[in-house]
């Protein structure tokens, strides 16, 4: 292999595959709204793992957050999160009991070569369900 | 006796007949730049008997009675408890004209909320929400 150590080639291929699996134009934050009083902000991790790092949800005057450094909103934790080129799925659980309290479900579609639109649903236990439009995907 | 049997037969036949009621599910983006509307039957699986699509000033319809524009056909269509996916094709089923991808969830009162994306290749993509059954 032209003198390139095989371990280096393997690492290079791994990096290429990781880059191909990650949207090149994905922003660090995804911001969603229902056009009224409901919003969601998803902050992605950086580096190789770009799945959701923190999530904040607001419905009218009620707020939830998975960021332990933020006081005020009710604390939840990310129970499971998944994102690929076509969708983003996040379940937030009660910090103690473990019940799923919030479900975010988004589809993604490429509007142009450099922009992606997101749309989907937000379900908040005992509060309501909303259709969302998102940017930053 | 024969008349009674005939009435009973008609009653049983009416009870066994499937309901053919249909309802439109209308999807569009917030700015109404694009839309995907489809007519579904009240059966256990997704059954689409008509659709219309718009993207900007371009329009398609599966039958002229449903709207203006070029003819369009239903390609793949799939629905489960959480998602609904429809591909609209040209009448020859050779080229994809539009992709609708929806998530579904329910409010406490049972109303279904639909939200997702509409991609019309060559025209763009939009986040959409829908009204329907």
Q: Is B131 on the interface with A (CB under 8 A)?
A: no
Q: Is residue A13 part of a domain?
A: no
Distances (CA, A) of A12 to A4, A6, B90, B129: 11, 10, 43, 42
Question: What is the number of structural domains in chain A?
Answer: 1
Could A111 and B126 be called an inter-chain contact, meaning their C-beta atoms sit closer than 8 Å? yes
Over range A11-22, report the average pLDDT. 44
Would you say how long chain B is, in residues?
Answer: 133
Domain of residue A130, residue span = 25-135
Q: What is the DSSP string of chain B?
A: -HHHHHHHHHHHHHHHSPP--EEEEEEE-TT-SEEEEEEEESSSS--EEEEEEEETTEEEESSGGG-SSEE-EEEEEEE-SSEEEEEEE-TTS-SEEEEEEEEEEE-TT--EEEEEEEEETTTEEEEEEEE--
Question: Which pLDDT does position A26 carry in this prediction?
Answer: 63
Distance CA A58, CA A12 (A): 42
pTM exceeding the 0.80 threshold for the entire prediction: no
CATH classification (class only), B18-131 = mainly beta
Question: Exposure of B29 by Cβ count < 10 A (0-12 exposed, 13-18 middle, 19+ buried)?
Answer: buried
Residue A79 placed within a domain:
yes
Higher pLDDT, B120 or A9: B120
User: What is the pLDDT averaged over residues B40-68?
Assistant: 92
Quick one: closest CA in B to A135, which residue? B127
Q: Evaluate whether ipTM surpasses 0.95.
A: no
Per-domain boundaries in chain B: 18-131
Is A121 in contact with B104 (Cβ distance < 8 A)?
yes
């Amino acid at each position: 292999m032209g003198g390139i150590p095989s371990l280096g080639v393997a690492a290079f291929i791994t990096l290429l595959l990781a880059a191909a699996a990650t949207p090149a134009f994905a922003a660090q934050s995804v911001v969603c709204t229902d056009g009224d009083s409901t919003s969601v902000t998803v902050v992605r991790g950086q580096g190789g793992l770009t799945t959701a790092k923190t999530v904040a949800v607001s419905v009218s005057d009620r707020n939830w957050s998975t960021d332990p450094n933020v006081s005020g909103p009710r604390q939840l934790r990310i129970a499971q999160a998944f994102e690929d080129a076509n969708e983003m799925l996040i379940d937030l659980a009660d910090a103690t009991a473990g019940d799923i309290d919030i479900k975010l479900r988004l589809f993604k579609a490429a509007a142009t070569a450099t922009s992606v639109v997101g749309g989907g649903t937000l379900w908040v236990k005992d509060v309501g369900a909303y259709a969302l439009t998102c940017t930053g995907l | 006796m024969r008349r009674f049997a005939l009435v009973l037969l008609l009653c049983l036949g009416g009870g066994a007949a499937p309901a053919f009621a249909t309802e439109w599910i209308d999807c569009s983006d917030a700015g109404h730049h694009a839309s995907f509307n489809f007519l579904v039957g009240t059966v256990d699986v997704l059954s689409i008997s008509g659709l219309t699509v718009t993207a900007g000033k371009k329009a398609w319809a599966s039958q002229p009675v449903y709207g203006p524009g070029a003819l369009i056909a239903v390609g793949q269509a799939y629905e489960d408890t959480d998602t609904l996916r429809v591909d609209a094709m040209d009448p020859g089923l050779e080229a994809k004209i539009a992709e609708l991808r929806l998530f579904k969830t329910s409010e406490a009162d049972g109303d279904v909320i639909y939200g997702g994306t509409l991609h019309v290749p060559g025209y763009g993509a939009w986040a959409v929400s829908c009204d329907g059954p």
